[in-house]
């Protein structure tokens, strides 16, 4: 899957990010997501999202998917994630939908905060990253949006919506 300039903002981002299709299969993720789960990226792509959560979170994940289908987003959903080594961590899921030019659902952009690592330094790092990413997306919009193909525009629009949502999150409440 080729990377647009918009998606490149997430490559080595401090937050865990993944993109799924409309049936919960992981299409892409960043290095932070892969390393926090203890997998190589190639071991994650094509897998269902349920492979990376503990069984006791399956109901919560199903409820999250239901909310996503009904509203186009998921906010503040606590899920217990499972690493390759079997250890777990409490994560907080934030997701926004990606649509094609005909408003058909393509999937979602999802950011996961590892709640076990939330401290003042992380909160500051996330806040700065979200602002920088928004600025990069604003530059892309100004410079090249009109010349993007429909898939790249859909991806840009989905990421813009995700960062707009993340900038509204009160990160201090996540500690």
Mean pLDDT of 55-82: 93
pLDDT tens for 4-62 read 788 888 877 999 999 999 999 999 999 999 999 999 999 999 999 999 999 999 999 99
> What are the angstrom distances between the C-alpha of 107 and each of 12, 67, 81?
21, 13, 20
Say if residues 29 and 38 touch (Cβ distance below 8 Å): no
> What are the angstrom distances between the C-alpha of 143 and each of 37, 100, 111, 132?
36, 21, 26, 16
Can you identify the CATH homologous superfamily of domain 5-173? PAS domain (3.30.450.20)
pLDDT tens for 92-101 read 999 999 998 8
From CA 62, how far away is CA 172, in angstroms rounded?
27
Whose structure tokens read 């993007």?
A: 148
Closest C-alpha to 14, from 128, 120, 169, 170: 128
Question: Residue ranges per domain, the chain?
Answer: 5-173
- pLDDT for 175: 72
pLDDT tens for 85-135 read 999 999 999 999 999 889 889 999 999 999 999 999 999 999 999 999 999
Say if residues 137 and 160 touch (Cβ distance below 8 Å): yes
Say if residues 68 and 108 touch (Cβ distance below 8 Å): yes
Mark out the alpha helices in 38-79 (DSSP H runs): 41-44, 58-71
Both tokens of 111, joined, read 């950011």
The H or E element that residue 5 is part of is helix 5-8
- pLDDT for 1: 38
Long-range contacts of 64-69 (CB under 8 A, 24+ apart): 64/93, 64/95, 65/24, 68/95, 68/97, 68/108, 69/105
In residues, how long is the chain? 175
């Amino acid at each position: 899957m080729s990377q647009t300039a918009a998606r490149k903002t997430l490559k080595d981002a401090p937050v865990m990010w993944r993109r799924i299709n409309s049936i919960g299969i992981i299409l892409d993720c960043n290095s932070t997501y892969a390393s926090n789960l203890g997998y190589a990226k190639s071991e994650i792509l094509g897998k269902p999202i349920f492979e990376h959560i503990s069984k006791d979170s399956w109901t919560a994940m199903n409820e999250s998917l239901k909310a996503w289908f009904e509203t186009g987003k998921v906010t503040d959903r606590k899920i217990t994630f499972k690493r390759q080594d079997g250890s777990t961590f409490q994560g907080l899921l934030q997701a926004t939908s990606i649509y094609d030019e005909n408003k058909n659902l393509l999937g979602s952009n999802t950011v996961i905060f590892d709640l076990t690592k939330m401290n003042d330094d992380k909160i500051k790092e996330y806040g700065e990253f979200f602002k920088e990413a928004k600025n990069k997306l604003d530059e892309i919009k100004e410079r090249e949006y009109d010349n993007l193909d429909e898939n790249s525009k859909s991806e840009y629009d989905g990421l813009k919506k995700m960062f707009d949502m993340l900038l509204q999150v009160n990160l201090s409440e996540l500690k």
